[in-house]
Amino acid sequence: MNIFMLLLGLMATMLSATQPLTSVETVGSGHLPVVMADAKGTFHLVYGQDSTIYYATTNNPSSTFTKPVAVAILPNLVAGAKRGPQVVVAGQYVVITAVDRMGDIYAYSLDRLKGKWSSAVRVNDRPAVAKEGFQAIAGTSEGVVHSVWLDLRGNNHNKIVGSTSHDGGRSWSPNQIIYQSPDGSVCECCKVSIAAQGNDVYIQFRNWLGGSRDLYLAHSTDGGLTYPSPQKLGLGTWKLNGCPMDGGAVVLSSIGQPVTAWRRENTLYTCIPGHAESSIGTGKNITVAAGNKGAVYAWDEENAVWVKPVNGPTVAMGKGQMPSLAVTGQTALCAWEVNGQILVATVKLNSQ
């Protein structure tokens, strides 16, 4: 046994005593799980397996998820390297988006009042432009859904493009170029992230300027109609002749403040726009969820998944990678992938 695994086991034992970790549940076979929590405390989970998109829920984080439902079959579904299906709740709708290897993004909408999923609707209005497969969505309580992705249209260079749905994902606005790098392309293999509340929409992406691969944040105050020049996050920079394939995440706090999480070299950072970054730890694939008492972070390092509340100790979740995170009340639920299986477990958060 190497020294890292020995320390991992020791830390898991110590930290579990202070931050109770539920038993790990296997939801099913698949890749790239994404979990989110709605305003009523229900967790929604989506993931891909071969060409099938699966969806499951739980109303009680201490109980098991429902049996995963096959929402749709999307031939040549992309579900690797954080390119998997995404899910949001927007008013009465649950919306899932997914991309195929041709570079087309499709939306599927569940009207929770009727209990029926819609057929696929293509989000990108030019075919085969999302070939990198990185896309994200955010929903609002008014039933509005914002989508953003890396797009090759026009000059075959990746740029940030978005679209908005005002009917729960059943139709989409003409696509809008939100940002294109003056140096040619944004970072071509890093996921984009998006968060929205009311008319505020925040998009986080890794740029490529002057040889640096730094994180930027674009902010719309008119519901995604316009985006002023994006703002660089943090004070440091990362000169890199290549793509780290790690884009981080952005969420909104209980007061609507954007909280960002991202990686530079092997260090994980968080920051509020306009302020210096703070180190969280080391690793990759960091994500963040907003709780009533502050942000909660999850990441993987050396094939192990970790969860850290902003005001609590780091918790070892177990073997795996590519975590996703959601919070409701005093409970954080983490979903991750290991050996082609989707695992979930919850962590009780400090109430102080």
What pLDDT digit, counting tens, does each position of 60-117 carry? 876 789 999 999 999 999 988 779 999 999 999 999 999 999 999 999 999 999 999 9
Domain extent at residue 148? 14-348
Q: Does a structural domain hold residue 2? A: no
Residue 23: what pLDDT? 84
- CATH number where 266 lies: 2.120.10.10
Q: pLDDT confidence of 20, banded at 50, 70, 90? A: low
Give the integer Cα–Cα distance in Å for 227 and 148: 13
Q: Report the residue count for the chain.
A: 352
Q: Nearest 5 degrees, angle CA 240-CA 98-CA 100? A: 80
From the list 247, 39, 273, 20, the residue with the least C-alpha distance to 139 is 39
Give the integer Cα–Cα distance in Å for 298 and 111: 31
Q: pLDDT confidence of 310, banded at 50, 70, 90? A: confident
Mean pLDDT of the chain: 92
Specify the DSSP element, H or E, that contains 297. Answer: strand 294-301
Q: Does a structural domain hold residue 1? A: no
Residue 19: what pLDDT? 52
Both tokens of 209, joined, read: 């300027």
Beta-strand pair 52-58/43-49: antiparallel
Q: Does a structural domain hold residue 147? A: yes
Return all residues near 112 (Cβ < 8 A) that are at least 6 apart. Answer: 92, 93, 94
One-letter amino acid of 81: A
DSSP at 264: E
Return all residues near 13 (Cβ < 8 A) that are at least 6 apart. Answer: none
Q: Does a structural domain hold residue 226? A: yes
Q: Does a structural domain hold residue 310? A: yes
Give the integer Cα–Cα distance in Å for 102 and 83: 13
Q: Does a structural domain hold residue 6? A: no
pTM of the model: 0.93
One-letter amino acid of 120: A
Other Cβ atoms within 10 Å of 250 Cβ, number = 26
| Cβ atoms 298, 287 nearer than 8 A | yes
Both tokens of 142, joined, read: 């008014």
Report the number of distinct structural domains present in the chain.
Answer: 1
From the list 336, 352, 327, 339, the residue with the least C-alpha distance to 36 is 327
Q: Does a structural domain hold residue 5? A: no
What are the residues facing 198 on neighbouring strands? none
Residue 82: what pLDDT? 78
Q: Does a structural domain hold residue 150? A: yes
Q: pLDDT confidence of 212, banded at 50, 70, 90? A: very high
Give the integer Cα–Cα distance in Å for 171 and 60: 32
| pLDDT 10s digits, 36-65 | 999 999 999 999 999 999 999 999 876 789
Residue 15: what pLDDT? 40
Other Cβ atoms within 10 Å of 304 Cβ, number = 22
Specify the DSSP element, H or E, that contains 9. Answer: helix 3-18
Question: Any idea which of 55-64, 98-107, 183-192, 301-310 has the lowest mean pLDDT?
Answer: 55-64
